[in-house]
Structure 1
Amino acid sequence: MKNTGFESRNTAYPDSLPGWYFKAKPGFKVSLDDKDKFEGNFSLKVSGDKVDAGQFQSFSQEINVNGSSVQKKSVSCYIKTTDVMTKIGVWCQVWDEKDKVIGFESFDTQHIVIQGTTDWKKYTLSITALEGAKKIVVAGFLMGNGLAWFDDFQVEELQTMSIPPSAAVLKYINDFNGFIKKNSIYKDSLDWKKISRDIAALSNGLQTISDTRVLTDYMIRELRKAGDNHSFIQNKTQTQTSATGASPEKPMSKLLENGIGYIMVPGFSSAHYPSILDFSTTIQSQIKKLDEENDIKGWIVDLRTNTGGNMHPMIAGLGPLLREGDLGYFIKEDGKRQRWYYEQGREGIEKGTNVRVNPCYKLKNNKNRIAVLIGNSTCSSGEMVAISFIGAHNTRLFGEPSGGYVTSNSIFWLADGATLLLATGFVSDTNKKIYSKKIIPDVMVKSDSDTDLVLKAAEEWLH
């Protein structure tokens, strides 16, 4: 690593930072400080003044690595802060020879939080460079208002490769991989011999279950390379929050010009039944209010901000606008189909009921046209909702291709209370069309920052 302590200066270009790359952003200033430093003559000072909390200033450096084998490294530096309102941090990316990111760690991923005013302290990230790695990108940043000083960066090899993993670590990753080998629809696309070698190398030095994140993250990356962009891990806290809490976003409705009823259904991530029922009932109540108080000429269902979560309350809520009966199918690896349906306020899979809205509402006129809006943020369960409308004679999809998270996921519980949500099947509409990638709308309309062209196209069709 070059200029680790920011001692090198280019007097001809005082705003440059030898060895490091940065581009100054409005509201931020990057400079060398000869008065406040951890050691040597200088530190790097980054200041933010009158900037939004989401804006940040970063600086970075690329470091070449030899990717002939798995390597574990630590990236450390000393940091001091004054009145940091949002956060500061360090992140590391590992790139392969094709300039693809194959590894990432940050203060966020390793639960390091720095805010307010703090004195000089050493902070360390551990990073794994897999076989085939070409370079590591190390970056520091300040987000929002405040002052931060950085000094004495170091990248070192971790001396843990000769220490065998604990029995708890081996059992955890064996159970994790067992779920994938038995249930993943991508399991035959994985190079299990290579995976075994990499897991063996990555496991060295790991002693606790919390250490296994490097192994599970590796497996998720391998699934991504095989084509699975939907499987993911929820840690214990996220799993508990999903089981007990409500999603913050709420559905929204309004009457548009010319008697068009508009319903926006956001993502919903909770598995808490009272919250599920409230979400479903709210949507139906909004549909009922619009329908009873107005002479509705058509409907718009906006799924463009629906990033997914739990499909069942979304479908139950939209039931009055859907056909009664089968709405789509989960397709298992053996070809067996499981239907999902809506009937008289009940939504479920096969003959089971997941959500029941009672009393349920029925439209005054069920022959009105329905325009469904989708885009690249329509993902996962949001896509299942869109599929539920496909095939109805009075329905058309408008917008841009969906996010492409159209596999059905099953939940597998891990020993530490976390859960693996694993892609175990594909889905199809009632016409038996299987979706393995994105949903393509019937009418392609590109988004515009100034005018909602998608909404406009839908309104014109409804008129």
Structure 2
Amino acid sequence: MKKARRWLLGLVAAVIVAGLGVVWIFGPTYGTALVGRPVFLLKPSPQRYATTVFDIAERHDFYADSAEFARARQLAEEDLAEADSIADTYPLIDSVLKAAGGKHSTLVVPGRISPERESAPLPTVETQKGIVKVTLPPTDQQWDGQEYADAAAKPLVAALEGGACGVIVDLRGNTGGDMGPMLAGVSSILPDGDVLWFSTGNYDSPVTIKGSSVSGGGTPTTASAEGKFKVPTALLIDEKTGSSGEATLLAFHGLENTRTFGLPTAGYATANISFEMPDGAWILLTTSQNKTRTGEIFGEDPIIPDQLSSFPERTAREWLHTQGCEVHN
């Protein structure tokens, strides 16, 4: 009996040691896929900290198979020998991330992203002379996406049911965040089906609208207001419209009776994954570009509006009038 117990305890110990060995070897790199962040059994050295990020970037970042990335990683690893602290690695990591994923890939130093954020600014909807203006501010997955979507969807549907003849979607200042609630908020003026694709170069992943539900992009969200309306739609953009703000813009790209006004966007029309490192730094990796229903690919170049304007709302209203939206009330 004692021999059997010792054998069993030895087996358990061997399994534990083997498990710890697996975590030690693979936890830093594959932890992001399993638990959303790298897993280290002990505080990593600056060198292991940085090379872990490099390995993850090589697996996921959009340009990770480029000669530029290989060269940037080589130079950074040569300089890592001089790093005495994790903070010393930040500039090296950021330079490698830029080579691996472009300007949308980056390291955010600890403290720049607060774990507790203020309440999200909600969309606003107002109707004037038959034209509904929906303002979509930036949002975040840590905020209440349902409240955000409903704040836009409910009054928009009500206004259109009440006879509004045109819509302005104001994306100026929308630096991005969670695109699921954004699209759900304006789903009533988007057709059902795939409205956008995340293109990795190897495959395309669709963002789909069905009724008032959005899936495939950001947090899956269903707005608490249904209805489909085909009305002339103007979209307002500026130099701060970026990331998910640009993705929301591109969901309308190629639709009839749709036109964009304002200034060129920020040029961050790419999709990211993000994860937190043990010291509180955040890593953002660019994984894909945005592909529209017309087959066009958008990435790091600013999106040019159909009509450049320093007074885009006024210009948009004038265009909507030419589309037959001339309710005077």
Same fold (TM over 0.5): yes
Tell me how far apart the structure 2 counterparts of residues 205 and 325 of structure 1 sit (CA, whole Å). 50
Whose helix proportion is higher, 1 or 2? 2
> Counterparts of 2:221 and 2:227 in 1: how far apart (Å)?
17
Paired position in structure 1 for 2:191: 323
Given candidates 87, 96, 112, the residue that maps to 1:213 is 87
1:276 aligns with 2:145: yes
Q: In 2, Cα distance between the equivalents of 1:461 and 1:265? A: 21
1:454 aligned to 293, 300, 312, which one?
A: 312
> Which secondary structure does the structure 2 equivalent of 1:196 belong to?
helix
Aligned with residue 383 of structure 1, among 220, 225, 246 = 246
CA deviations on 1:306-364 (whole Å, 9 max, x unpaired) are 01111111011111121111110000132x010001112211119x9711223x2215x
SS in structure 1 at match of 2:51? helix
Structure 1 gaps of 5+ residues are 1-165, 448-452
1:411 is aligned to 274
Name the structure 2 match of 1:100.
none
Residue from 286, 293, 296 that aligns with 1:423: 286
Kept after mapping to 1: 8 A contact 2:57/2:100: no
Q: Determine the structure 1 residue equivalent to 2:39.
A: none
- The residue aligned with 1:260 is 131
Residue 345 in structure 1 maps to residue 217 in structure 2: no
Counterpart code for 1:267 = P
For 2:177, what is the secondary structure of its paired residue? coil
| Contact 1:233 1:418 (8 Å CA) reproduced | yes
Q: Trace 1:21-32 onto structure 2 (pairs within 5 A).
A: none
Tell me the residue number matched to 1:196.
Answer: 74
Checking the alignment, whether the CA contact within 8 Å between 1:179 and 1:412 is kept in structure 2 is: no
Instruction: Map 1:272-311 onto structure 2 (within 5 A).
Output: 272=143, 275-292=144-161, 294-311=162-179
State which of 222, 225, 233 in structure 2 corresponds to 1:356.
Answer: 222
Report what 1:333 is aligned to.
201
SS of structure 2 residue aligned to 1:228: helix
Question: Given that residues 291 and 298 in structure 2 are in contact (C-alpha distance below 8 angstroms), is that contact kept between their aligned partners in structure 1?
Answer: yes
Q: Note if 1:173 corresponds to 2:173.
A: no
Percent identical: 27
Alignment of 1:64-79 (within 5 A): none
Q: How many Å separate the matches in 2 of 1:265 and 1:357? A: 14
- SS state at 2:104 partner: coil
Contact (CA 8 Å) 1:383, 1:405: kept in 2 or not?
yes
Change (3 A) 1:247 1:385: farther
**2:72–2:99 CA contact under 8 A, matched in 1:** no
* Contact 2:277 2:283 survives alignment (8 Å): yes
Deviations 1:192-221 (A, max 9, x none): 345434444354252xxxx32332333323
Aligned to 1:113: none
Q: Distance in 2 between matches of 1:260 and 1:395?
A: 14
**Which range moved further: 168-177 or 231-240?**
231-240
Per-residue Cα deviation, 1:416-441 (whole angstroms, up to 9, x for no partner)? 35432200111111111111222222
Q: How far has the Cα of 1:412 moved from its partner?
A: 3.8
Larger radius of gyration: 1
- Asked which structure has the greater RCO (Cα within 8 Å, sep 6+), the reply is 2
**Secondary structure at the counterpart of residue 432 of structure 1:** coil
Runs of 5+ in structure 2 lacking a partner? 1-42, 322-329
SS at match of 1:376: coil
Determine which structure has the larger strand proportion and give its number. 1
Q: 1:277 offset after TM fit, Å?
A: 0.8
**CA separation in 1, counterparts of 2:199 and 2:75?**
33
Instruction: Number of aligned residue pairs: give it.
Output: 277
Q: Residue 212 of structure 2 aligns to which amino acid in structure 1? A: G
> How far off is 1:245 after superposition?
4.5
Alignment-derived partner of residue 230 in structure 1: 104
- Cα separation, partners in 2 of 1:190 and 1:247, compared to 1, 3 Å: farther
Counterpart AA for 2:142: A
Range with greater deviation from structure 2 (194-203 or 385-394):
194-203
CA RMSD, aligned part only? 2.6
Aligned-pair distance for 1:237?
A: 5.5
> Alpha-carbon deviation of 1:186?
1.9
Could you tell me which residue of structure 2 aligns to residue 368 of structure 1? Answer: 231
Shift of 1:300: 0.3
Question: Does the 8 Å contact 2:189/2:230 carry over to 1?
Answer: no
Kept after mapping to 2: 8 A contact 1:265/1:301: yes
What's the TM-score, normalizing by structure 1?
0.55
**Aligned counterpart, 1:439:** 303
Contact 1:251 1:283 in 2 (8 A): yes
**Partners of 2:308 and 2:140 in 1: CA distance:** 28
Counterpart of 1:186 (choices 28, 46, 63) is 63
From the superposition, tell whether residues 422 and 227 of structure 1 become closer, same or farther in structure 2 (CA, over 3 Å).
Answer: closer
TM-score, length of structure 2 as denominator length: 0.76
The amino acid of 1:361's aligned partner reads: E
3-state SS of 1:286 partner: helix
Q: Is the 1:284–1:317 Cα contact (8 Å) retained in structure 2?
A: yes
Q: CA shift at 1:236, angstroms?
A: 6.0
C-alpha displacement of 1:263: 0.7
